[in-house]
Structures are given as structure tokens and as C-alpha cells.
Amino acid sequence: MAKIISIINMKGGVGKTTLSVNLAYGLSKYHHKRVLLVDVDPQFNATQYLYPISKYLEFMKKKGSCTIKDIFIDRPTEIMGTVTDEKKKADAVILSIANCAIRVYKNDSGFLDLIPSTLELMEADNMRRGIENRLKIFLDKVRDNYDYIIIDCPPTMSVFTASAYIASDAYLITIKPDYLSSVGISLLLRAMKNYEESYGISRKPIGIVFTMVMGNTTLAKQVMGQIRKAYSPKMKIFDNCMSHTTKIAKTVGENKTIFDIGGGRYSTEMKNITKEFLDTLEEEE
């Protein structure tokens, strides 16, 4: 049964999607895991990162194709032919992992599937509350097909972040080591506490991963040191971190991952983060 992990930060521009995509890809390629990446961000950056826009548009036009939106919205859902009204039946969506997931990578024993997002997901955010459990219900039905399910969350307090929290077994925090991001940790943990109190469930933080680290600058060292002092050992602070590089923007545009960047440094960093992620989860079992 898959471990379901949300990658969370309420602040944008901190490498959250970059970590989500490359962690999911690294687990499948280098550790031969069966991985599902779920994009619950209306900006659908993770989807665009992994999947060419031309193929995405073809997928969206294909009859019966589903995105993350179909898990949340109120529309007829045909299960075993139970929709009898002909008009409703014409609009019905058969929700299944076969219709929602796109296979974006495969090797001998591992693979990476993607449940894509869409800009239209914003429509669901204005719907009545009570839809927060739908993602958990769907993922619980398919989690036996995977070893890990990674959820890339939006950088906001929204119904989608709440849904990811509810559906997850744990969450991982990404932090860019600057002053504003470090201040945001306490606000993020408070938001998670609010979810715990609102929904009556507790999800444990796996730890903090530093992303977009600007070399060996004094500021980065100071902020990382302050965070380690403030939150360790109560919360794990990953030893390995992701450096900042403008090369990532180019790989995203080409639907490539960090592992495709030449030189090896950034690939090695991401491999180390992936290994530490696995080791941390195994230690907690």
C-alpha cells in the first residue's frame, strides 16, 4: 500500500513543484518504485513540467479523459452503469486511475504516473465545502497500485491543500533559506494545526528540505543554521539540499528533470535527497 506524501509550503517560489516532480521521478527511475504524482495546484506547474503542452491538449480532448478537477467537481459520475438519465449519462465521467493517470516514465520495474491538473480547477475552489474528502476517497481506492503517491500542493490555504492534508499519511516542507521563508515555517505549522483541529486528523511532518540554496552565501548559512536550531531535533531537517540554478528553468521548458542537467552536481543532490527521503520513511516504520 502506497505511502501518500504531500509537498507543502504556503509561499510560492520556493522550489516546491521542482522538488515534487524530481522526487517522484527519482523514486521511479533510481529506486524502481511505482509512483503517482498528483497535481492539485490550479496553476498546474507540475503537469507542465513533466508533460509537453501539445500532448496535454491532446489528452484533454480525448473522450473520457479526467483531470484532478473531475475528482472534486459536482457532476454525474458513472460507476458500473448506475447513471440512468440519458442527459446525465452523456455528461457522466467514469472516474478511474486508467482515465486520470498519464504514464510519463517507465523502466523495468518502476514507473511514474501523473494525475494532471487544469486551470479550470479554480472553479472547484468556489464550490460548497464538503468536497475535501474526495481526494482521499479516490486515492485510497488506487493506492495498492503504487509504492508512493506524491501530492504537489498549491502555495495557498485552499480546499485543495486541505484535501491533500486529509489524503496524506504525512507531509514534507520545502524551505528556501531566506528571511521571509524562514518566518513562514511557524505560519505553515499553524495552518497544519488548524487542519488537524478542523478535520479531527493528525498528519506528521516528515521534515524540512532546503531548496534553491544560493551557494555558500552567508545569509543562506545563517538562515539554515537558525532553522536547524529552532526546529531540530523535534523535526527532521534534511542533511541534503537542492541548490539554486537557472538551468532548471530550461529543463522545465523542455519537459526534462534535474537529472538531465549536465555536470552531475544537481543530479547528485537530488539523488541524495531522494535516498534520504526513503531512509527517513523506513526509519519511521
* CA nearest to 22, candidates 205, 261, 228: 261
* Cα gap 42→234, rounded to integer Å: 33
Question: 241 vs 174, 214, 234, 260, 273, CA distance in Å?
Answer: 10, 11, 19, 18, 7
Q: What is the pLDDT of residue 13?
A: 84
Q: What is the pLDDT of residue 79?
A: 45
Residue type, 266: Y
Q: What is the pLDDT of residue 80?
A: 42
* CA nearest to 135, candidates 120, 123, 117: 117
Q: Which residues pair with 171 in a beta bridge?
A: 6, 205
Kindly list the averaged pLDDT for each block of 10 residues, start to end, along the chain of length 285: 94 90 97 98 94 93 90 62 51 80 94 95 72 94 97 91 96 90 83 94 95 84 91 93 87 88 86 97 84
Assigned fold of 3-284: Rossmann fold (3.40.50)
Q: What is the pLDDT of residue 88?
A: 52
